[in-house]
Every structure is written in C-alpha cells, then in structure tokens.
Amino acid sequence: MDPVYLVILVGSIILVAVLSYFDNVIKKRKRERYLLEAQPKIDKAIAEIDTDRLIEYLQFEETYEIAGNALKEIGQPAVEPLFTVLQDPLFSPVRGNGKPIWIIIQDPNLVSLVHAQAKYCSLVRAQVTFILGEIGGHRAVEALIYVLRNPRTRAKAPAQFASDEEAVCRIVAAGALGEIGDSDAIESLFETAIQDPDSNVRVIAACALFKLGDPHALDALVESLQPNLMDLAWPYRAVGVSVLGAIGDSKVIPLLIDHLAYWRDDVQRAATEALAGMGEPAFEALMALANSEEKLRIYAFYALGKMGNLRALPELERLAREDKNRAIRRAAKIAAEAIQQNQKAT
C-alpha cells in the first residue's frame, strides 16, 4: 500500500475515534447536568408521593431508573396511577431516540428474569408493567391481567425478541403473574398461552402457569416450543425448555432432543440440563444419539456426563479412544470423567 494512503487511513481512524470519544463525553455531561437539575424535583415528588410526576419522569432516559425505584418504594399507593397509564390508549411513549433498548436473559432457568427485560426497555408501558409486577398485590394483579387481555400493536420490535413492542408488555405481565403466584391469574394466563398472536408471549404464559401449578402448562408449552416456530425468540425458547425439564414428563424427551440441535448455545445448554435432570427416562434416548450427527452427539454426551449413569461409561470410554472425530473423542472423554468423578463423590 502507498505510504501516503496508509497515513491518511490511520489518520482518519484516529480522527473518528477522537470525535466519538468527545461526543460520548459531551452526551454524558449533558445527562449528568439534566439529572442534577431534575434530582431536587424528583426528591420533592418522592416526599410528596406525587406518583403522576414520577410517572412523567419514567419517560426520560436520565431519570427513569430513579423514578421507577421510587414508585416501587411507594408501593400500593402507586398502583392505581400506574394502572391508569396502562388503560390510557394514548399513552405509549418511547424513551430517547425511539429505538427499543433490550437486555438478554442471562439465566434461562429463572422465569423471574423474564419480566426484568422491561427494566431497560425504552417502551415506557413495559416499564410500568414491570413496576406493577414488582409491587404486587390484588390490584396490581388486575392490572397485569388487563395487559394480557387487551393486546395492542405498536411499532415493530426486533424480530428476534418479539413481534411488536406491545408483546413485550404482555411478556412482562405474564412473567410477573407467575412470580406473584395469585391463582386469580390462571384463567387469563391459560387463554394467553393458547391464543396470544405472539409465540414468545405464549411460552412465558405457559411457564407462569407451571409456576402456579396448573396442569395445562405442559401441553401449552409443548405446543409453543415446536422447532418449526421460527418467530420464537431464543431467550424465551431457552426458558421454556428449562421449564419442560423441571416438569419432567417423559413425553417431552423427543422435543428436548430436537433442541439439542438448535442454533443457539443457550438453548442447547438448556436442553442438555433438562435431559440430564430427567435421569433414567432420558437415558436410552441419549444413548441412541451416540451415532448421530456431531452436534447432537456432543450435547448428548454432556447430558450423559451430568446424569452420571454408570451404564454409559463403557461406550463413552470406547468413543473417547476410537472415534475418528477429535471433537467427539474430547466430548466423550469429558463425559466419562464427569461420571467417574460423580461416582467418587457419592
């Protein structure tokens, strides 16, 4: 490359980096200045239990977290004003530049993390739903049921998370109802689990039914987790797969095995944990995968290792020595060592 062009290229990269740095610094200082000016007004609203003013501050990126925490601290007196927001068809502001802010579910084994998605969502209605779920109580349950039974469609959200931004509100409401544990929500959750137009919402409603001990949860989950449902986001699929494992019914083993070949590691791990936790009913199905495609074999071996069944040891040790595929040999060796360590521990 011509030295002159190289110098220009490097100089351009440095210039862009410097401009980006100063832009971030300016934005940060503007946020800090706004928050400094707003803080006395927020403190006054908290002292006076001015829920309307605090709800107003939910709409701004700099203040929504402080306002949300204050509304949760106020508790039951804040429920009615928050419910009013959800009932207002004209109230649907989106914070900041209008682009949804998403977080990823880090632990698919905990349904409680589902409704935490709204904590950093730019859709203010979703955060209102989240706060109601945190407060709890009979009136909050009524508000959350209202969200499930009054679906609205708004701007499209990223396809990998939900079909529309309002679907996020219903996901949050369903997860919160499962956490609160009020049996009054069972009917609405069941209807949502089989009828909601968004498959992500259906999965979380079915998970909430499971947490409430409803026997319909299994069939609703199986229907919602079919591998051919491409609109189902992987975080909610991972949650649903984990709950299937917790239910422990042997009829879901083929569906769990299908998810061992899913494209996301998070879902594959959830299926592995679920199959390992099912123990003996899943053993033969996992052993039958010993000669299938590479990905299925590897995750089947990991599940067998976690399961700790000694009957798998001879075959795993043979594959660790003889299989032509290096990745398979390594996975079989790890699984065999896990079984041996488990036996020593017991």
Last residue of a domain, one of 219, 246, 273: 246
Are residues 152 and 282 both part of a single domain? no
- The parent domain of residue 276 ranges over 248-346
**Whether pLDDT at 96 is above 60:** no
If pLDDT is split at 50, 70 and 90, which confidence band does 253 have?
A: very high
Last residue of a domain, one of 183, 213, 246: 246
Rounded to an integer, the average pLDDT of 89-98 is 58
Q: Which pLDDT value is given to residue 89?
A: 72
132-146 per-position pLDDT tens digit: 999 999 999 999 999
If pLDDT is split at 50, 70 and 90, which confidence band does 229 have?
A: low
Q: Which pLDDT value is given to residue 66?
A: 86
Q: Which pLDDT value is given to residue 153?
A: 47
Q: Indicate the range of 35-49, 197-211, 264-278 predicted with least confidence.
A: 35-49
Top pLDDT among 45 and 164 is at 45
Rounded to an integer, the average pLDDT of 227-236 is 73
Q: Which pLDDT value is given to residue 266?
A: 83
Q: Which pLDDT value is given to residue 93?
A: 60
27 by Cβ neighbours in 10 Å (0-12 / 13-18 / 19+) ranks as exposed
Q: Which pLDDT value is given to residue 282?
A: 93
Which CATH number belongs to the domain containing residue 85 in this structure? 1.25.10
- Compute the mean pLDDT over every residue in the chain, rounded to the nearest whole number: 81
265-307 per-position pLDDT tens digit: 888 888 999 999 999 999 999 999 988 889 889 999 999 999 9
Counting Cα atoms < 13 Å in the Cβ hemisphere of 288 gives: 8
Are residues 183 and 331 both part of a single domain? no
What distances in angstroms separate CA 40 from CA 34, 55, 81, one per listed residue? Answer: 11, 16, 22
Across 327-339, b (16+ Cβ under 10 Å) vs e yields ebeebbbebbebb
Q: Which pLDDT value is given to residue 4?
A: 67
Are residues 232 and 276 both part of a single domain? no
Which CATH number belongs to the domain containing residue 255 in this structure? 1.25.10.10
User: What pairs with residue 94 in β-bridges?
Assistant: 123
Top pLDDT among 327 and 45 is at 327
If pLDDT is split at 50, 70 and 90, which confidence band does 165 have?
A: low
**Whether pLDDT at 327 is above 60:** yes
Q: What is 65-97 written as a DSSP string?
A: HHHHHHHHHH-GGGHHHHHHHHH-TT---B-TT
Q: Which pLDDT value is given to residue 164?
A: 62
**What six digits make up the tokens of 160?**
């990998």
Percent of the chain with pLDDT over 70: 80
Are residues 88 and 180 both part of a single domain? yes
Is 31 contained in some domain?
A: no
What distances in angstroms separate CA 141 from CA 52, 113, 173, 281, one per listed residue? Answer: 20, 18, 9, 38
Across 194-224, b (16+ Cβ under 10 Å) vs e yields eebebbbbbbbbbbbbbbbebeebbebbbeb
